[in-house]
């Protein structure tokens, strides 16, 4: 099956990838040096065995017809000892290489996960989660398999080839001339196939990453998928991706599988030529029968690594493609570092001033926010309303410096946040989002996520304020009840109440609520709002809400449309103005 040229990505620099992999291996330099030393010793012992075999055959096939049984026994015993010692050393090398590969992939996976934690939010917004998971799991495992299996062969191959060549030159230089034809032919064919196979394995990794992203997206959206009856459509779309992944896998393995048998055929050709030429030289009494036997054994050892290199070509190319994807992610630019003169943000009052803010997600896209200005006094509640896509969540992202504006600035307590460290800035905020997130652990730990040293009493008070304490107390283990990774055993509204309790407990002077009560009933929402007014009276709050009834008592209501603030004021002021806010309010309640 011939791959389509328009689907194959251009192969990248394999040498650079190998150099980077080697740099990881050198971090285990002592173990690597020991493995090389043991591999050298084991291969030298293995290389002695064919010579001993030749001596034993010569002792049997003496010209006078007499068999020297003591000599045969002596050489046979030495051969057995060499093979046993070589096997023990090979086992030791295998264990060392396993340890090296384990440490290497552990380091790579740790660096990759650390990189994911330090990439800007914009990267996560534009890259499928399934593809990122594929890189940190499938691609890392592929590299691990190649290191643990192929590294042993690579360590032994060079020693075996050089040692066998030296021994064959010692036995019969004329017979070595046979390899002048077969070895270049095998190397040229292997190189040709490597160039052909490498882009196919890169395509395979990409297709598997796309398929994983598709699976992750639609498995997590099962309720919506079934509610709209789109199972057949999704199955058809998955079948196309599954077929692409299967085809790319087949194409890569198909062309890679050709290499091993082809190189093996070339090696068998060399064995045939050696047998014919050796027989002629024996008849001419230019070489002994034992030396021919030793030469044949050395020729197999000489050509064996070449054949093995061809057989592991698929694994090497797969590992290179996987490593390229890993290094591509590791090379992604991280979140812009804090400037050298950045100071920790010390929020004492919570005064927020936004001046002439302008922002676009990409240079070639229309701006999402245009000349937005706002002053939020300490302890005030600022409600942000407007149609979907108006820029409400974008404003929150800029407050947290998940993105930086192209124009304008934001200052907290008079300090521009551009000159503050991101860690201190984000620590000044507590946040509740519409998309709730719970981790695998106890309910207590989930509530105390932002304040890990909080006492059980403080956690209970936050839960009571969020109107979730009754539900928690009815659970089998109360606050020690374990929840799954995404709180599957808890309703969506209860998960949102837990995240609200988490935000209440965090000691922050600034609070962001992005549709934080969208999954609770109106009665509970009103009760939460009343409790929060008491608990956050000394905090500056930014509330994004579509239920306008919950923000009637906000100190400032901003109406954003097309990236601009078209109205701002209190509820009563905006209703008297009878503008955009009044129209939104009447649309909900009249």
pLDDT digits (tens, 9 = 90+) for 364-396: 888 889 988 999 998 888 989 888 778 888 888
Is residue 176 a contact partner of residue 165, using CB atoms and an 8 Å limit? yes
Question: Mean pLDDT over residues 172-182, rounded?
Answer: 75
The domain defined by 352-589 folds into: Rossmann fold (3.40.50)
Indicate whether 3 pLDDT > 50: no
Question: What local confidence, expressed as pLDDT, does residue 500 receive?
Answer: 82
User: Alpha carbon of 285 to those of 160, 170, 194, 276: distances in Å?
Assistant: 29, 17, 43, 14
pLDDT on residue 411: 92
**431-489 pLDDT, tens per residue?**
887 777 777 788 898 888 878 888 888 889 888 888 888 888 888 888 888 886 555 56
What 3-state class would DSSP assign to 544?
Answer: strand
**Residue 534 pLDDT grade (very low, low, confident, very high; cuts 50, 70, 90):** low
Confidence of residue 10 (pLDDT cuts 50, 70, 90): very low
pLDDT score for 226: 63
Residue 410 — very low, low, confident or very high, per pLDDT cuts 50/70/90?
very high
Specify the higher pLDDT residue, 183 or 527.
183
Could you tell me the sign of the dihedral formed by the alpha carbons of 506, 512, 517, 518, in that order? negative
Residue 113 in this model has a pLDDT that exceeds 70: yes
d(CA 50, CA 302): 12
Among the listed ranges 175-189, 338-352, 555-569, which one has the minimum average pLDDT value? 175-189
Least confidently predicted of 41-45, 244-248, 290-294, 501-505: 290-294
pLDDT tier at 9 (50, 70, 90 boundaries)?
A: very low
* pLDDT bucket at 430, cuts 50 / 70 / 90: confident
Per-range mean pLDDT, top range of 13-22, 174-183, 193-202, 297-306? 13-22
Alpha carbon distances (Å) from 376 to 200, 347, 415, 483, 498: 56, 14, 14, 37, 27
Q: Work out the angle between the directed axes of helices 140-171 and 289-311 (0-180°, nearest 10).
A: 160
Q: What pLDDT is attached to residue 352? A: 92
User: Between the CA of residue 325 and those of 26, 112, 247, what are the distances in Å?
Assistant: 21, 11, 20
Q: 212 pLDDT band (50/70/90 cuts)?
A: confident
Distance of alpha carbon 211 from alpha carbon 231, whole angstroms: 17
User: DSSP H helical segments within 221-312, as ranges?
Assistant: 222-227, 231-283, 289-311
pLDDT for the residue 8 = 33
2 has pLDDT over 60 = no
pLDDT classification of 309: cutoffs 50, 70, 90: low
CA 474 to each of CA 5, 382, 471, 478: distance values in angstroms, whole numbers, following the listed order? 62, 36, 5, 7
Q: Where in the chain is the domain with CATH 3.40.50.300?
A: 352-589
Higher pLDDT, 464 or 146: 464
Name the percent of the chain lying above pLDDT 70.
Answer: 85
* Residue intervals in the chain for CATH 1.20.1560.10: 15-330
Q: Indicate the pLDDT class of residue 402, thresholds 50, 70 and 90.
A: confident
Band of residue 5 on the pLDDT scale cut at 50, 70, 90: very low
Please tell me the CATH superfamily of domain 15-330, with its number.
ABC transporter type 1, transmembrane domain (1.20.1560.10)
């Amino acid at each position: 099956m011939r791959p389509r040229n328009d689907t194959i990505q251009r192969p990248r620099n394999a040498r650079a990838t190998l150099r980077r992999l080697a740099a990881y291996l050198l971090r285990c330099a002592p173990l690597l040096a020991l493995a090389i030393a043991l591999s050298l010793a084991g291969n030298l012992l293995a290389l002695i065995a064919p010579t001993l075999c030749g001596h034993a055959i010569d002792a049997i096939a003496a010209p006078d017809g007499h068999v020297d049984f003591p000599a045969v026994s002596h050489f046979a015993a030495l051969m057995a000892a060499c093979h046993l010692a070589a096997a023990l050393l090979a086992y030791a090398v295998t264990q060392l290489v396993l340890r090296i590969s384990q440490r290497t992939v552990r380091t790579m996976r740790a660096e990759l996960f650390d990189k994911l934690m330090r990439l800007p939010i914009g990267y996560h917004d534009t890259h499928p989660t399934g593809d990122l998971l594929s890189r940190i799991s499938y691609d890392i495992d592929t590299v691990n398999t190649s290191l643990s299996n192929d590294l042993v062969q690579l360590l032994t191959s060079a020693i075996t080839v050089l040692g066998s060549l030296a021994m064959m030159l010692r036995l019969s230089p004329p017979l070595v001339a046979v390899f002048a034809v077969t070895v270049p032919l095998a190397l040229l064919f292997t190189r040709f196939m490597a160039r052909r196979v490498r882009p196919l394995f890169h395509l395979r990794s990409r297709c598997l990453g796309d398929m994983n992203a598709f699976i992750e997206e639609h498995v997590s959206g099962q309720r919506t998928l079934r509610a709209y009856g789109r199972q057949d459509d999704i199955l058809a779309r998955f079948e196309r991706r599954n077929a692409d992944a299967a085809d790319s896998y087949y194409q890569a393995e198909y062309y890679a599988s050709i290499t091993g048998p082809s190189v093996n055929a070339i090696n068998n050709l060399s064995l045939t030529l050696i047998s014919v030429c050796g027989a002629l030289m024996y008849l001419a009494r230019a070489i002994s029968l034992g030396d021919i036997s030793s030469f044949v054994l050395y020729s197999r050892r000489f050509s064996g690594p070449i054949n093995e290199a061809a057989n592991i070509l698929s694994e090497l190319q797969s590992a290179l493609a996987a490593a390229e994807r890993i290094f591509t992610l590791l090379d992604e630019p991280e979140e812009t570092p804090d400037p050298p003169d950045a100071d920790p943000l010390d929020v004492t009052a919570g005064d927020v001033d936004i001046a002439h803010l302008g922002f676009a997600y990409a240079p070639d896209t229309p701006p999402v926010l245009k000349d937005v200005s706002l002053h939020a006094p300490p302890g005030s509640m600022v409600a942000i309303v407007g149609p979907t896509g108006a820029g409400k969540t974008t404003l929150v992202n800029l407050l947290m410096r998940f993105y930086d504006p192209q124009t304008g600035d934001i200052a907290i307590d008079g300090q521009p946040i551009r000159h503050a460290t991101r860690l201190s800035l984000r620590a000044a905020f507590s946040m509740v989002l519409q998309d709730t997130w719970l981790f695998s652990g106890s309910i207590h730990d989930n509530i105390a996520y932002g304040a890990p040293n909080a006492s059980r009493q403080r956690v209970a008070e936050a839960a009571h304020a969020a109107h979730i304490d009754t539900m928690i107390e009815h659970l089998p283990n109360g606050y020690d009840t374990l929840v799954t990774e995404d709180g599957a055993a808890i309703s969506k509204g209860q998960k949102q109440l837990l995240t609200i309790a988490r935000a209440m407990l965090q000691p922050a002077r600034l609070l962001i609520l992005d549709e934080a009560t969208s999954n609770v009933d109106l009665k509970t929402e009103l009760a939460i709002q009343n409790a929060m007014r008491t608990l956050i009276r000394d905090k500056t709050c930014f509330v994004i809400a579509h239920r306008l009834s919950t923000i009637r008592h906000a100190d400032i209501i901003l109406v954003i449309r097309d990236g601009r603030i078209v109205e701002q004021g209190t509820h009563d002021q905006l209703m008297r103005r009878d503008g955009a806010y009044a129209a939104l309010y009447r649309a909900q309640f009249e």
